[in-house]
Structure 1
Amino acid sequence: MITPRFTCSQTEESLIISIYCPSVRATDVEIHVDETLVSIHINPYFLRLNFSYPLLEDDTSSAKYDPSSGYLTVTLTKENKGQVFDDLDLLAKLLAPRPSAPRPIIEVVSESAEQSEERTEEDDLVAQTKAMSLEREEILLAAENDWQLPQEALEPQLSTSVQKYYGFLDMHSGYFRHVTHTENEVNELGADAEICTAAERRRKRLQREDKKWDEEHYMADFADDEYIRELLAWRHPHAEYKEGFKYTDEENAVILRLPRKEYLPTPTQTHNLYLTLLTVLFSYAYESRTNQHDPTPESAWTLSILVPAFSALDPPDAPASIADPLVFSTGELAGTFVTSYRRSLAFPLYRSFVLAEACRKDVAQFLSRGKRIVVRCLLEMKKILDHHEVYYVYSKVWLDDFCVWVQAYASEDILVGLGKQVAELKISKSSINWRLEALEAATQEVEDRESDSDDEDSDDSASVLR
């Protein structure tokens, strides 16, 4: 089935779905409304949308097809007149599956000894058979009516396999199985990318950062900072507030091709996703600021190398025990940005602490604008990586799911709150562990001596002339 292009709008009493499905027979359209779930089928197109409030298919509802434009317009009645349906422009949220209903929990309080003795192996076998039949019937019924299967979040299990998972919610594997045969200059794990444990990934990442750190490069950029000052003065267009935000047709087309999954992260995993998002946005901020929002052939490399979850498959993680998974301490936010700062000072062309500070402030601006701007940043990253013959894998294992998760599941309030916290962060140079203050002082001392020497030469020349 093909997912068609569509838009949604509303009036006081109705919700209107406009679907582009050219060259179809209007008599074949099938519309099913189940409270908040709307399914529309007109061969070869199928659209299933999950709204925040219930709808009705009554006498005032209608479906009209315009063969000249190719648009099918479906008008459905709101169950509660005057109710405002939010986020109709967030297509990934509308396309996301309906949340799975929790299964009932049955507890056996007590059982007498006689009843226990009467339970025979045959009874157990019959009970197991019935349970399997009911479960199979439930799955088939779900697949027939809603095209969704029951899902539940599983607790981490002891793994005896050397294969390790990575990416968004550790859902991916196999993308780096043949990494030695590709020109992946980002991968810091080498041929062991598929089998490295989390601790090994972090150790290799830190070793790689320390090895790539170049004191002379940093001092040179600190001394000759004319171009960096130009970069600092530049304003990112996404940091400016604009009324009437609207995704472009190209952006909506990409969103329609994103995976449609129901994500069931644990509270700790959700906490870690927000932290990882900060590092991804920092990479985007650095890349777009250093080329002033005009991507270059090096953009895919820059975007990938600056994200530890890409280059070393090492996303930030929260402490083992956190009081509230939706509350972020200043310490862990600072620690997350220290990693991004280190990478921006060790790998790309321009290595400047004040430039890293400007990128952090950009991240704060993106977050303060809400999920729509955040998704636009992610879509721009995805477009760059998707067109690279090697680094597209980072789009597959991270950005595709991140675009859906931010639109459909991330909290607008949490994103805005994170923006305020990030804006107020204070990152010390000493936390980078690379003697930045000493290097800057030494560079400044050399410049001062050269300046004094130039002044003395100038005075000597003037005395000779006299």
Structure 2
Amino acid sequence: MITPRFSCSQTDTSVIVSMYCPSIRAAEVEINIDEMTLTVHVKPYFLRLNFSHALLEDDESSAQYDPSSGYLTITMTKESKGQDFKDLDLLAKLLAPRTTTHQPVIEVLSSDNGNESDLVSKTQGLSLEENLSLEQEEIKKAAKNDWQLPQQAPETLVSFETSLQKYYGFLNMHHGYLRHVIHTENEVNELGADAETCTVDERTKRRIDHEDEKWDGEHYMADYMDDEYIRGLLDWTHPLADGPFEYTEKENAEMLRLPRKEYIATPQQTHNLYLTLVTILYSYAYDARTTQLDPTPESAWTMCVLTPAFSALDPPNMRPTTGKEPLIFSQEEVIAALIPSYRRSLAFPLYRSFYLVDKCRTDVAGFLTKGRRMVMRCLLQMKDILDHHEVYHVYSKIWLNDFCLWISAYADDETLEKLGKVLAEIKIAKALIGWNLEELETAALESLERESDSDDLSSEDSDDFYHAPL
């Protein structure tokens, strides 16, 4: 079945869905409204949308088909007049399956065994101390008579793997995409032929080793002293969306092409996804600022090489969470998640300036505080660049496709805003990068002063020469 192009809008009393389904028979259209779910079926198209509030199919509801334009317009009545249906422009969220929670269907109301009921009531009547004493006496009797005491398996077992295959990508859902990576022109892959079998610890080690290998102190000093062009990049302002937000037709079409998936992430995985999102947006922000939002043939390489989750399959993996408290991001863990991005920005691209690197952090903070729609727009622009690259499109498949759907359907604007505020407040010290940046900057300034003094002396000698008598 084909998912048609569609758009949604609303009035105070109705929700309107407009579907593009040319060359159909209006008599064959099947429309069903079940509380918050709309289902439309007409060969070869099928559309199921899940809304945030209930809808009615009454006399005011209607469906009209215009053969000349090919659009089917469905008008549904809101159950509560004036209710605001949010996120009607997040098409991927409307298409996502509705999450259901299954409750136990069997409940024990009573027992016919009178003796057992008496025993239960007596046990419940005991105090905590009496229960503990009773339990200790039973344990002593069991040890004396060699009874088989209850046993429990350890809470954590030693991991045992029978396969060399390792998973990676969004929620570790993917594998096999890099099996033949050495036979492609993938210049960002840092795991070589072992991309499918490297453990998590090995990925981190190889990433750090490669960053240290590519680090060039002289290149950093040269950009530190000759920073006229970099200053221009620092003055550039990213055109963040202001006022009413509306996706373009191209962005809507791209969202409709996203996979139809349902994600069941643990609190720990959700926590790490937000931090991984920061590193991905950072790579986008760096390329956007250095190209001033005019992508070059090197843009795909730049964004991939600056993202640890792409180049080394090594996303942030932070502290465990219990899931009982709301998502909270400490400054320490946000800094830890960003340090690899800082290191890579100082080791790989053409421009290597700590001030430029730090400026991109504030760009990401601005994206996050704008909420899901702004983040989605950044990811779609990044995805468009990677999708059109003959090699790096693989990273769009294992990361960006899922991230775009997850952002629109599962991410939370309030959480994104909190994360953006933390990102705006943090200060990443140069000492955390690990390459003695402050010493190199001091040496560069001293070298510049020596050259200036030497030029002054040369100028005086030149004056003496020209004024010397013949």
- TM-score computed with the length of structure 1 as normaliser: 0.87
Aligned to 2:74: 74
Aligned to 2:261, what secondary structure does the other structure show? coil
Aligned to 1:237, what secondary structure does the other structure show? coil
User: What is the identity, as a one-letter code, of the residue corresponding to 2:341?
Assistant: S
- Measure, in 1, the Cα distance between the counterparts of 2:399 and 2:346: 24
Aligned to 1:434: 435
Unaligned runs of 5+ in 1: 116-154
RMSD between aligned alpha carbons? Answer: 2.1
Aligned to 1:151: none
Aligned to 2:300, what secondary structure does the other structure show? helix
Structure label with greater radius of gyration: 2
Alignment of 1:348-367 (within 5 A): 348-367=349-368
Aligned to 1:190: 192
User: What is the identity, as a one-letter code, of the residue corresponding to 1:90?
Assistant: L
Seen in structure 2, the aligned counterparts of structure 1 residues 454 and 76 have a Cα distance that, compared at 3 Å, is same
Aligned to 1:20: 20
Aligned to 2:423: 422
Aligned to 1:161: 163
Aligned to 1:375: 376
Aligned to 1:200: 202
Alignment of 1:212-227 (within 5 A): 212-227=214-229
Aligned to 1:295: 295
Aligned to 2:276: 276
Aligned to 1:7: 7
Aligned to 2:348: 347
- Measure, in 2, the Cα distance between the counterparts of 1:211 and 1:106: 62
CA contact (8 A) 2:267 2:321 kept: no
Aligned to 1:125: none
Q: Shift in Å at residue 94 of structure 1?
A: 0.7
- Measure, in 1, the Cα distance between the counterparts of 2:194 and 2:107: 46
Seen in structure 2, the aligned counterparts of structure 1 residues 208 and 65 have a Cα distance that, compared at 3 Å, is same
Aligned to 1:407: 408
Seen in structure 2, the aligned counterparts of structure 1 residues 192 and 256 have a Cα distance that, compared at 3 Å, is same
- Measure, in 2, the Cα distance between the counterparts of 1:65 and 1:439: 70
Q: Shift in Å at residue 455 of structure 1?
A: 2.0
Q: Shift in Å at residue 465 of structure 1?
A: 5.3
User: What is the identity, as a one-letter code, of the residue corresponding to 2:270?
Assistant: T
Q: Which moved more, 1:453-462 or 1:91-100?
A: 453-462
CA contact (8 A) 1:360 1:423 kept: yes
- Measure, in 1, the Cα distance between the counterparts of 2:159 and 2:447: 58
Aligned to 2:73, what secondary structure does the other structure show? strand
Aligned to 2:165, what secondary structure does the other structure show? coil
Alignment of 1:328-347 (within 5 A): 328-347=329-348
- Measure, in 2, the Cα distance between the counterparts of 1:72 and 1:41: 12
User: What is the identity, as a one-letter code, of the residue corresponding to 2:315?
Assistant: P
Unaligned runs of 5+ in 2: 117-156
Q: Shift in Å at residue 178 of structure 1?
A: 1.0
- Measure, in 2, the Cα distance between the counterparts of 1:321 and 1:159: 25
Superposed CA offset, 1:233-253 (max 9, x none): 111112xx4212111101100
Q: Shift in Å at residue 457 of structure 1?
A: 2.4
Seen in structure 2, the aligned counterparts of structure 1 residues 211 and 107 have a Cα distance that, compared at 3 Å, is farther
Seen in structure 2, the aligned counterparts of structure 1 residues 255 and 420 have a Cα distance that, compared at 3 Å, is same
Q: Shift in Å at residue 306 of structure 1?
A: 0.5
- Measure, in 2, the Cα distance between the counterparts of 1:222 and 1:390: 33
Aligned to 1:144: none
User: What is the identity, as a one-letter code, of the residue corresponding to 1:21?
Assistant: C
User: What is the identity, as a one-letter code, of the residue corresponding to 2:374?
Assistant: I
Residue 263 in structure 1 maps to residue 263 in structure 2: yes
CA contact (8 A) 1:32 1:40 kept: yes
Q: Shift in Å at residue 321 of structure 1?
A: 4.8
User: What is the identity, as a one-letter code, of the residue corresponding to 1:290?
Assistant: T
User: What is the identity, as a one-letter code, of the residue corresponding to 2:207?
Assistant: R
CA contact (8 A) 2:330 2:422 kept: no
- Measure, in 2, the Cα distance between the counterparts of 1:210 and 1:102: 51
Aligned to 1:180: 182
- Measure, in 2, the Cα distance between the counterparts of 1:101 and 1:203: 41
CA contact (8 A) 2:221 2:440 kept: yes
Aligned to 1:102: 102
Aligned to 1:132: none
Q: Shift in Å at residue 56 of structure 1?
A: 1.0
Aligned to 1:243: 243
Q: Shift in Å at residue 105 of structure 1?
A: 7.1
Aligned to 1:384, what secondary structure does the other structure show? helix
Aligned to 2:125: none
Aligned to 1:245, what secondary structure does the other structure show? coil
Seen in structure 2, the aligned counterparts of structure 1 residues 297 and 446 have a Cα distance that, compared at 3 Å, is same
Aligned to 1:124: none
Aligned to 2:91: 91
- Measure, in 2, the Cα distance between the counterparts of 1:100 and 1:205: 40
- Measure, in 2, the Cα distance between the counterparts of 1:60 and 1:407: 31
- Measure, in 1, the Cα distance between the counterparts of 2:112 and 2:339: 58
Aligned length: 425
CA contact (8 A) 1:268 1:325 kept: no
Q: Shift in Å at residue 181 of structure 1?
A: 1.1
Q: Shift in Å at residue 22 of structure 1?
A: 1.1
Seen in structure 2, the aligned counterparts of structure 1 residues 350 and 33 have a Cα distance that, compared at 3 Å, is same
Q: Shift in Å at residue 288 of structure 1?
A: 1.1
User: What is the identity, as a one-letter code, of the residue corresponding to 1:330?
Assistant: Q
Sequence identity (%): 64
- TM-score computed with the length of structure 2 as normaliser: 0.87
Aligned to 1:376, what secondary structure does the other structure show? helix
Aligned to 1:33, what secondary structure does the other structure show? strand
Q: Which moved more, 1:375-384 or 1:99-108?
A: 99-108
Aligned to 1:171: 173
Alignment of 1:427-466 (within 5 A): 427-463=428-464
Q: Shift in Å at residue 157 of structure 1?
A: 8.2
- Measure, in 1, the Cα distance between the counterparts of 2:158 and 2:266: 10
